[in-house]
Amino acid sequence: MTPSGTPRIPEFLALGASVAGIFALSIGPFVALGQLPQLTARLFPFTRGLNHAYWAPNAWALFTAADRVLLKVSQILNFSLAVNDAGVRSSSRGLVGDTVFAVLPTVQPFHTFAITIGIQTVVYMTQQFLSNLT
């Protein structure tokens, strides 16, 4: 923008072209070698699952613990819950991989994305509201 507030279109296009060029130079070799899916999988490692080789103090660890408690309670009290057999064998036992739940629904990457965006939106809106109070 100029000091008077009018946009500088040629400078804007030059900046955009330089950013696009750098992006093409950095991603181009992966595209040329057919390695873009591998790059994406490493940048966004959703296949590691929610629980890694340790029990992290987060909401997913609590979710997994609740699934295990519900499974055990249903076995002891003979509740007729829909139990996923793969979920009975799956847990974070020091292995890296997808976690499948036995009683609770299995969480997909989109679910974690939506929850993250929702929480960030609430935080942002709360900050805006509190800043308007002052």
**Can you tell me the distance from the alpha carbon of 134 to that of 132, in angstroms, rounded to the nearest whole number?**
5
DSSP string, 50-103: SS-SS--SSHHHHHHHHHHHHHHHHHHTT------HHHHH-S-SS--S----SS
Distance separating alpha carbons of residues 48 and 38, to the nearest angstrom:
14
- pLDDT at residue 47, as a whole number: 60
Domain of residue 114 covers 46-133
Q: Looking at the structure, do residues 35 and 50 belong to the same domain, yes or no?
A: no
Q: Are residues 67 and 124 in the same domain?
A: yes
How many whole angstroms separate alpha carbon 86 and alpha carbon 14?
A: 54
- Regarding whether 76 and 11 lie in a shared domain, the answer is no
Q: Are residues 86 and 100 in the same domain?
A: yes
Residues comprising the chain, all counted: 134
| pLDDT string in tens for the chain (134-residue length) | 888 989 999 999 999 999 999 999 999 999 999 999 888 878 876 666 566 545 556 777 788 888 888 888 888 888 777 777 766 666 555 455 667 788 888 777 777 778 889 999 999 999 999 999 87
Look at the chain and report how many structural domains it folds into. 2
User: Last residue of some domain: 11, 28, 44?
Assistant: 44
The reply to whether 103 and 128 lie within a common domain is yes
| pLDDT confidence of residue 124 | 96
40 and 50: one domain? Answer: no
Query: Quick one: 8 and 67 in the same domain?
Result: no
Rounded distance between C-alpha atoms, residue 27 and residue 19, angstroms:
12
Two structure tokens written together for 128: 């805006």
pLDDT for 33 equals 95
Task: Determine which helix (DSSP H) or strand (DSSP E) holds 22, and give its type and residue range.
Answer: helix 9-32
Looking at the fold, whether 128 and 93 belong to one and the same domain comes out as yes
CB 90 within 8 A of CB 98: yes
